[in-house]
Amino acid sequence: MSKMSGLSETERAGFAKILKLMSEDHVLSLCDTVTNKMIVVETYTEAIETIIAFTNNAEELLKRKKVVRDLIFKYLAKEGVVMPPNSEKHQLVKRTLELWSSGKTDETRPTTEVKAEVAFDPLVLGQQFCQWFFQLLNSHNPSLGQPCQDWGPQHFWPDVKLHLLSRAGSEQMDDFLGAEMVSLRLLALTKEEHLLLSPNLQPQGIRALASPHGLVLVAVAGTIHRDKACLGIFEQIFGLIRSPLENNSWKIKFVNLKIKGQDALGGTEMVAPALSYNSTELQLLCN
């Protein structure tokens, strides 16, 4: 027995995301309700597909008891729609239906368009990104004794490039290509070489700018430590682009990392290093 869904493509994609936030038991139970137990499903995925196929009206499904308020709230947050935390379910349902009819969800948003619902500030993104990135990378330094977080190629675009320039004694320049190689080389800094990278997130230590094509550049300076010794400073530039297939999360497209050991610094101030890149140089990288 088959039945065509009366939902639009946007609504179907939205429901798939909402249902994936539910527990398996709730999805199977909702499937029974929606189909009046006329369809026997074998798997969680089949249950989601069946619920969507047997739904003619988006509002009706959103209003069902098992689609609880918190699920809709979470879904909207993931789509970049910020609602007051005390919103009631009927308000969240209304906002979801508006979102779907406007067609501004992740499925329909162009790949590189920055979400326009909130004023986009590249610097705020840059600070949040740096906090996340360095905390994640440093968690793999065994001398810190922290639980390792989920570092890996999933945070990079498949064709990511890493340009690594190191001036400590002699000068060494290396290029790495591809998510696997780049991810492993950066990981080696903390995991094998036991380095700790401490970014300077004060105004003189970080800059960010966005290109019209959706590339965001984040440049940050910081100090490098091993155990209690400060070994030198680093400057790192990240190119970030959203991935529409992964909840529009930002992924790393390229990394330029410049490391200067103490001997190459000639007594420069190392407490909170400032960036040497200016906006014009960053603008050139954007093109």
Per-residue pLDDT for 122 more than 60?
yes
Angle between helices 69-78 and 89-102 (to 10 degrees): 40
Q: Which of 219, 210, 217 is nearest to 114 (CA)?
A: 210
Domains of the chain listed by start with CATH number: 9-102 (no CATH), 122-286 (3.10.450.50)
Q: SS3 of 252, please?
A: strand
In angstroms, the CA 260 to CA 232 distance is 6
Mean pLDDT (whole number) for 221-226: 90
Mean pLDDT (whole number) for 259-273: 65
Per-residue pLDDT for 244 more than 70?
yes
Q: SS3 of 234, please?
A: strand
Lowest mean pLDDT segment, chosen from 72-81, 132-141, 171-180, 181-190: 72-81
Per-residue pLDDT for 157 more than 90?
yes
| Token output for 93 | 């349902």
Mean pLDDT (whole number) for 143-147: 84
Question: Whole-model pTM?
Answer: 0.56
